Amino acid sequence: MKKGLSVVLRATLAAALLNGAALAETTKTSNYAEHPEAGAVIEALGERGFDKDRVRSLLADAKRQESILEAIARPAEKSLTWAQYRRIFLTDSRVEQGVAFAREHADTLARAEQEYDVPREVILAIIGVETSYGRNKGSYRVLDALATLGFDYPPRASFFRKQLVALFEMERDAHIDASTITGSYAGAMGFPQFIPTSYQAYAVDFDGDDVIDLVNSPADAIGSVASYFAAHKWQPGLPVAARARVDGDDYAALVKKGYKPSFTLAQARKNGVVAVSCEGDSLSSDYCFDLPANTSVAMLDLIGDDGHEFWLVSDNFYVITRYNHSELYAMAVLQLSHRIADALEAQSL
């Protein structure tokens, strides 16, 4: 009886595997214009005055990219420790590139800093982390990336279909060829890697040529990063983060609250957590602050080269995470910005 059942199970499993393989192969080679969710995209654009045949043709041309599905399933921000992550972005070459970019675009950076109240080193760090100052803007066709994720990545499919609609709108409004423009595996474009809806909402024409071009115009990229930070309520002069000392185990409850500030420095102190002071503190650090006790903060526990690193971070840290929702990303931007600022000061730039 058991042997017979085993044979049946094996046969059933084999059939299921064959059917699954056939279905997967069908999905991989399918025409996205015929996907069950494509009709809504086509109709939505048609209602906005777009040529539905053109949209349908582009969707039919979009190619599913397995490497995109693999990449989004294991982002570095979720698979690496801080020690591993920082080694990718906090390099001497990236600092040197940042200084060279700052020298070349000094006037534009100064204007962005003046108009948006966002420090030039933060703007530089964002562009440096995102694309190494334009050296790596992404090689995926954005159409393929957004179609793959919009139709074949259920966890965030609706979000990426929204980006796909925005891409078609940009073709009309921003003179972008939706059939050829390239970017990241998530469909982000240009020097600062804006996704289509961010491109629409925050990108600015900062070089005055009446075209917003984040792919070819460093000036537009600089202005647009500053615009993004200002729109997300960057607070000029507010320190981003300080190293922290902990006493006891009550700090763990604060770490669990996440990186959005939700308690005050006074409350942190009650839990045994104190920010490193900039005034002769025994724990020397480039990351320190002396802020009022009612300042809102969050707490991080990162695994660095020497083990646990405890941090208290402000609302400006949270603003950086609006660009990429990761505490590791925000910390990389912060520390790269510090290194660039030091290098610029050393060269009197």
The Cα angle at residue 77 between residues 76 and 83, in degrees rounded to 5: 85
Provide the 10 A C-beta neighbour count for residue 242: 25
Secondary structure string (H, E, C) spanning 108-151 = HHHHHHHHHCCCHHHHHHHHHHHHCCCCCCCCEEHHHHHHHHHH
Q: Is 194 exposed, middle or buried (0-12, 13-18, 19+ CB in 10 A)?
A: buried
- Cα–Cα distance between 24 and 195 in angstroms, integer? 28
CA angle 172, 176, 179 (to 5 degrees): 100
Catalytically annotated residue among 121, 130, 171, 327: 130
**DSSP class of 285:** -
Catalytic (active site) residue 130: yes
Nearest to 329 by CA among 145, 126, 32: 126
Angstrom distance (rounded) from CA 327 to CA 314:
12
Tell me if 299 sits within 8 A of 338, measured CB to CB. no
Containing 266, the helix (H) or strand (E) segment is helix 265-270
Query: Which of the residues are catalytic?
Result: 130
